[in-house]
Amino acid sequence: MFLIILIYMAILTMMAFVMMKIDKHQAQHRGQRIPEKNLWTVAIFGGGIGAYLGMMIFRHKTKHTNFRIGFLVLALLDGALLIWSYQNF
C-alpha cells in the first residue's frame, strides 16, 4: 500500500512542479497561464511537495501569502502522510 501511495504522490508532485515551471515561463513571456484553480487542485490531491518546491525554485507566486502558506501546509501534510503510510503499511 505504501508503494501505491508513494507512486501516486510522486506523479502528482512532478505534475505540480512542472506546472509551476510552465506557469512561470508563461508569465514571463505573456503566454497563456495555468489557472490558479488547477495549481491548487493538483497540490491538494497530493502534489503539495512539488507545488511548494516549484514555487521556491522558480520564485513563482512567492508574493502571494495564500500560496506561500497553503503550499507549505500541503507539502507538510503530504510528507506526514508518506511517513505515516510507511510506518503503518
Write the pLDDT tens digit of every residue in 46-55. Answer: 999 999 999 9
pLDDT higher than 90, residue 89? no
pLDDT higher than 90, residue 84? yes
Residues in Cβ contact with 2 at an 8 Å cutoff, skipping those fewer than 6 apart: 85, 86, 89
Q: Quote the number of domains for the chain.
A: 1
- Write out the three cell numbers for 77: 501534510
Q: Yes or no: say if 59 and 32 are a contact pair by the CB < 8 Å rule.
A: no
Task: Note the pLDDT tens digit of each residue in 55-73.
Answer: 999 999 999 999 999 999 9
pLDDT score for 81: 97
Q: Cell match 503510510: residue?
A: 85
Maximum C-alpha span of the chain: 47
pLDDT higher than 90, residue 10? yes
Q: Cell match 512542472: residue?
A: 18
The per-residue pLDDT of the chain, averaged, comes to 97
CA distance 61 to 81: 25
Residue 41 binned pLDDT confidence (cut-offs 50, 70, 90): very high
Q: Cell match 508503494: residue?
A: 3
Q: Supply the range of the domain harboring residue 6.
A: 2-88
